[in-house]
Structure 1
C-alpha cells in the first residue's frame, strides 16, 4: 500500500517540467527536520503531488513517484554547496534525500486558492494557516479529492 505526499519546489529552481526532462531526480537540499523525517518515512512507490511554490500561481502542477528511499544527502558535506552543514558527516549524516520519478504534468495547476476553498481539504496540512513545510503527508482521501478536482 502506497503513501501519499506533497513536495514543494520553486519552479524557477526545479519544476515539474525539469523533472519530466530528467525522468527522475534526487530531492536534495531539504534542511528542515520535520520534512527530513517525512522523507525518511517514504517508500518506493509512494505517490507525490509536485507543488510549485513561491510563484505567481502556487499549486499542484503534477504527480511523481518515490523511486528510491531515503539516503544521505551528500550536498550537506560539500563546503561549496548552498546546503553545506558542518555538523553533518558521512559517518553521521544529518540530512537525507529521496529520488522521485516523473508521472504526469497536469494541463492545469490546481491552485492553492482552489485547495483552500474546498471544505473537504480544511484539515490538509497545506491549507492550514502558517504551514510552510516543503514536504508533507497527504491522506488518501485528500489525494482522491484533489484528483477529482483536477478532472472537473
Structure 2
C-alpha cells in the first residue's frame, strides 16, 4: 500500500511541476529598423509645391538608416513611369531632399504644367507625383514610405 501511495504521490508531483511550466510563445511582432517621418510630422504624407520652386522635404529617420533614395512615380496617359531622383545621405537622423519641381518626371514625357492651386480635385491627379522614399540600413535592409507631391501653379 505504501508503494502505491508513493507512486501516486510522485506522479502527482511530476504532473504539478510540468503543469507549472509555461511554453514561451514566439514573438511575431516585426518592428522596422528605421522609421521615416516627413517634415517632423508623423501623419504628413502629401503637400503642394509651386511649379517654379523646389520640392523640399525634410526626411527624419528614427533608427539606423544611412541614406535615403527618392523615386518619382507618375503616369503619362495609361502608362506608369518612374524617375530616380537621387540618394541623400542621412546626417544626425535627418536627410534633406530637394529637387526642382519640374524634375519630377522625365523630360521625354513632356513638361509639368502644374494644377491651379484652387482647381477642383478632379484636375489634380495628373499633377500628383508619388514619391517612394527608401531608407537604407547598414545591414542592407530598407524601409519604404510614400509621399505625394502635388505641383501647383
Q: TM-score range by the shorter chain?
A: under 0.3
Q: Normalising by the residue count of structure 2, what TM-score does the alignment of the two structures yield?
A: 0.27
Structure with higher helix content = 1
**Greater strand percent: which structure?**
2
Say which one has the larger Rg. Answer: 2
Q: TM-score, normalised by structure 1?
A: 0.27
